[in-house]
Amino acid sequence: MNLLPLLLERIAQDGPMSVADYMATCLMHPQYGYYSTRDPLGADGDFITAPEISQMFGELVGLSLAQSWLDQGRLSPFCLAELGPGRGTLMADILRATRSVPGFAEAAEILLVEVSPALRAVQADVLKGYAPRWMDSVETLPDLPLFLVANEFFDVLPIRQFLRSGDGWRERLIGNRDGSLTFGLGAQAPQPALDHRIEDTTEGDLVEISTMSPAIIGHVARRIATRGGTALLVDYGDWRSLGDTFQALRGHEKVDPLTDPGNADLTAHVDFELLAQAARAAGAAHSRLAPQGVFLERLGITARAQKLASGLEGAALDKVIRAHRRLTHPGEMGQLFKVLGLFPASASPPPGLEP
């Protein structure tokens, strides 16, 4: 089963659809959406993420959040939240690593923002004993200090794509050609949200804009600015997006994003400038963007890997060495993935990041 008939019907009714509408339907359609119906993570799935590679990732992220919590005066109670928690591995590692921080667990109300029923079930199992709460969106975050993490969450949020044309833009749209989905271009029109991209683009350049991220960051950053807290946002992308980064992954391979809709993971690189602007507009400060490898090295991942490796040999030792390399090496995830921190203007950035 895939979503092709439903998408073709919608195109017949309303005309060609934006990449954002296509992404939202393929990933989150309540019945047939990619995330709604399965657990796609891990070696047997379609892709693997940092927390699934090694416990070191979640441990260091947890300790960075906990140190921020100490630095900001042990705010209590507070909300410990994760956006798009996948299998719950990252949150489980955060909670285990922060057990040694007195008062942290007792003050934390654990909140998971997750729309997928299939993944909520996995999270409930992995986190049983911690009594987390689930929410569909950040709009109803409790009115508490907020310590939040999001790993590979913003890259699955829908994007629109625009091709520079004269002083305006033509949107890349998805239509029907002989019963198959195909890319086309809409009419030229001004796009006020892209005014700041006129200066750094030329005819034919493609830029992407996330439709949901600014509002989500707005909610998170407002809470951090008014109540205190920190957000660690980890994703692949860069300060400013340029070019087509819309891609589909299936069985760890890149596939055509328009083939077999609903059965592949669809992502786009995150434009961190957009997140930073939304955070500033909501009154929060943000860190410099740091490559994941640099962030983890600053937090002591090498010492942690050595500790985990001591006493191991053979395949178990290789696994720790490979995980360390995979998370930090510039040729692997170390450079492509970036970390942005949000914090109150009166506080310092979380450990691992610079103002």
- Which residues are near ligand SAH by CB under 6 A? 28, 35, 41, 49, 51-52, 84-86, 90, 113-116, 119, 151-153, 156
Whole-angstrom distance, CA of residue 108 vs CA of residue 106: 6
- The residue (of 101 and 115) whose beta carbon lies closer to ligand SAH is 115
Name the phi and psi angles at 351, rounded to 5.
-55, 140
Please report how close the Cβ of residue 52 comes to ligand SAH at its closest, in angstroms: 6
C-alpha–C-alpha distance, residues 355 and 42, integer Å: 34
Beta carbons within 10 angstroms of residue 196's beta carbon:
11
Please state the closest distance from residue 139 (CB atom) to ligand SAH, in A.
11
Pick between residue 152 and residue 297 the one whose CB is nearest to ligand SAH: 152
| DSSP-assigned beta bridge partners for residue 181 | 176
For ligand SAH, the closer of residues 55 and 72 by Cβ is 55
The residue among 90 and 206 lying less far from ligand SAH, judged by its C-beta, is 90
Q: How many CB atoms lie within 10 A of CB 1?
A: 9
Q: Residue 66 or residue 333: which is nearer to ligand SAH going by CB?
A: 333
CB nearer ligand SAH, residue 112 or residue 353: 112
Residue closest to ligand SAH, measured at CB = 84
Q: Which of 11, 46, 6, 12 is nearest to 29 (CA)?
A: 6
State in angstroms the smallest separation of the CB of 314 from ligand SAH: 27
- Residue with Cβ nearer ligand SAH (51 or 351): 51
Report in angstroms how near the CB of residue 216 gets to ligand SAH at its nearest: 8
3-state secondary structure of 237: strand
Taking the least distance from each CB to ligand SAH, the nearer of 63 and 90 is 90
Long-range contacts of 315-324, Cβ-Cβ distance < 8 Å, separation of 24 or more: 320/54, 323/53, 323/54, 323/56, 324/54, 324/56
| 8 Å CB contact between 64 and 34 | no
Cβ of residue 84: shortest distance to ligand SAH, in angstroms? 2
The beta strand positions in the chain, using DSSP E, are: 17-18, 78-83, 108-113, 133-135, 146-151, 159-165, 168-177, 180-189, 206-210, 229-238, 247-250, 253-255, 265-267, 270-271, 284-286, 290-291, 337-344
* DSSP per residue, 72-127: TT--SSEEEEEES-TTSHHHHHHHHHGGGSTTHHHHEEEEEE---HHHHHHHHHHT
From the CB of 63, what's the least distance to ligand SAH, in Å? 17
The 3-state DSSP composition of the chain as helix, strand, coil percent (nearest 5) reads 40, 25, 35
Shortest separation between residue 36's beta carbon and ligand SAH, angstroms: 8
**Nearest-approach distance from CB 27 to ligand SAH, in angstroms:** 6
The kind and range of the H/E element at 227 are helix 213-227
Contact in structure between 342 and 224 (CB atoms under 8 Å): yes
Q: Read off φ and ψ for residue 103, nearest 5 degrees.
A: 90, -20
Nearest approach, Cβ of 129 to ligand SAH (angstroms)? Answer: 20
